[in-house]
Amino acid sequence: MTGIIIISLIAIVILFLGLYKLDKAIVPLAVAALLAAITSYALAWNTNIYYFNNMLFVDNFAILFSILTIATTILILLLSPGYFEKISSNVAEYVALILFSLVGVLCMVSYNNFSMLFIGIEIMSISMYIMAGIRKKDLASNEAALKYFLMGSFATGFLLFGIALVYGFTGSFNLETISTLVMESGGQAAALFVAGILFMIVGMSFKVSAAPFHFWAPDVYDGAPSLVTSYMSSVVKTASFAAFIRMFIVAFAGVIHIFTPTLWALAAITIIVGNVIALYQDTFKRMLAYSSISHAGYMLIAILALGPDSGNAIFYYAVAYSIASVSAFAILIKVKALKNSESFDAFNGLAKNNPKSALALTISMCSLAGIPLTAGFFGKFFIFTIAINQGFYWLVGLAILNAVVAFWYYFRVIIAMYMKSPSSDEKIEYGFSYKLVLWIAAIATLLFGLLPGILSGLL
């Protein structure tokens, strides 16, 4: 809770820093504030306190996801020096918007009341609508912002409608009250209640870009500036999943069996669509966009196979995916700056001139593909394990098959880096904070790939 206040206040301070042309202080201050926020969350471990008349409940689940999203934001902010300056002079506003969006994220991961979920989603989304369009002169960026906004509001409408129907049935927004009612009803649910939950699933599926509500994702990810995309594909996605599964763990656990076919189909379609379309992409960035859709599919499996380990599995997956994704986008930004292209060919021979970046990208690709010794492997491993324990053999089979397909497009970039010859001898120059992020990402990926026990037993 202190974390939310710190971040909100510092975001306002940063707006003023921008006014007084203190641009140099913006990122350090933001990072310091985020570190303070992480500390405040870490100190709240095991305390389980309710805030705002039970609107927020900071339990361990909320703390873990808060720390994960804040830490990912720190990594992204560390990449930002020199990036936003090229877009316009409104750097302070960009950083402040990211922080505001993070405040929304923090509400989403610790909500205990559907109105808080809605407010959180809106705070997060509205900031992101703006961030997607910060390249005012760039058509793709404008298109991304407008599409994101239009479709986002459309989907939010469904979410809100769903919340209203659930309220109509239960008379409450409070998750625990709803859960009690659901338990009392003994697994039976009225049609309107079911419809309400279905609409909420639709709304959340949009946010996590699950097929067939994924259409916005490739266009928006592709059009938005890469750094913003990395934020959307890591922090926003993590938060949406946390909110999605929290809804089921706390409120609807008693009736999840009714939605099994729906979630099953969503997961299967998402995995197939994400992986299969990713095969045929020409640009690395669009490939990452589709791969992010496929990852949403894998994470949906954990919600489908809801059990005591689901939260943990999603958390582990989100950690692995966020880290790998930030590192991939970081290198994409540099390659784009150097070659002015986001296609796979731009990566040709990267290993010759920049062996360390090539290695970092290889590690991140291996993690996304789920190769052993990287965090991504255990992410998939935990999710598949709980799914198999609940008997979803077919879905896991399908997911593994698709994971194999995924090797093809993840390795495409590795092959380009190591097997093809570079078009020029230019080297990528990295600043200190940039290097730091790449190192942290690579080490964390390997560490969590070697020692999954560090994180796997927390929830």
Point out which residues bind another protein (CB under 8 A): 12, 15-16, 19, 146-147, 150-151, 154-155, 158, 168-172, 177, 181, 184-185, 190-195, 198, 201-202, 206, 212-213, 215-216, 218-219, 258-259, 261-262, 265, 273, 276-281, 381-382, 385, 389, 405, 451-454, 456-457
Instruction: Please report how close the Cβ of residue 229 comes to another protein at its closest, in angstroms.
Output: 16
Q: Which residues contact 170 (CB under 8 A, 6 or more apart)?
A: 177, 178, 181, 193
Q: Which residues contact 84 (CB under 8 A, 6 or more apart)?
A: 90, 91, 94, 95, 134, 227
CB nearer to another protein: give 9 or 47. 9
Instruction: Please report how close the Cβ of residue 263 comes to another protein at its closest, in angstroms.
Output: 10
- CB burial class (10 A; 0-12, 13-18, 19+) of residue 393? exposed
Q: Would you list the DSSP string of 82-138?
A: TTHHHH-S-HHHHHHHHHHHHHHHHHHHHBSBHHHHHHHHHHHHHHHHHHHT--TT-
Instruction: Please report how close the Cβ of residue 238 comes to another protein at its closest, in angstroms.
Output: 22
CB nearer to another protein: give 60 or 172. 172
CB nearer to another protein: give 45 or 381. 381
Instruction: Please report how close the Cβ of residue 34 comes to another protein at its closest, in angstroms.
Output: 20
| CB contact at 8 A, 3 and 66 | yes
Instruction: Please report how close the Cβ of residue 281 comes to another protein at its closest, in angstroms.
Output: 8
CB nearer to another protein: give 25 or 338. 25
Handedness of CA 266, 103, 248, 383 (dihedral sign): positive
Backbone angles phi, psi at 344, to 5 degrees: -60, -30
CB nearer to another protein: give 42 or 279. 279
Instruction: Please report how close the Cβ of residue 394 comes to another protein at its closest, in angstroms.
Output: 17
In the 8-state DSSP scheme, what is residue 248? I
Burial pattern 125-164, b for ≥16 Cβ within 10 A else e, equals: bbbbbbbbbbbeeeebbebbbebbbebbeebbebbbbbbe
Backbone angles phi, psi at 281, to 5 degrees: -85, 150
CB nearer to another protein: give 47 or 280. 280
CB nearer to another protein: give 35 or 258. 258
Instruction: Please report how close the Cβ of residue 313 comes to another protein at its closest, in angstroms.
Output: 10
Instruction: Please report how close the Cβ of residue 337 comes to another protein at its closest, in angstroms.
Output: 26
| CB contact at 8 A, 144 and 133 | yes
CB nearer to another protein: give 2 or 338. 2
Instruction: Please report how close the Cβ of residue 280 comes to another protein at its closest, in angstroms.
Output: 4
Q: Which amino acid is at 388?
A: I
CB nearer to another protein: give 201 or 335. 201
Rounded Cα gap, residues 165 and 185, in angstroms: 17
| CB contact at 8 A, 351 and 285 | no
CB nearer to another protein: give 74 or 344. 344
Instruction: Please report how close the Cβ of residue 279 comes to another protein at its closest, in angstroms.
Output: 4
- Extract long-range pairs of 348-351: CB within 8 Å, 24+ residues apart: 348/416, 348/417, 348/420, 348/421, 348/422, 348/423, 349/416, 349/417, 349/420, 349/421, 349/422, 349/423, 350/416, 350/417, 350/422, 351/417, 351/418
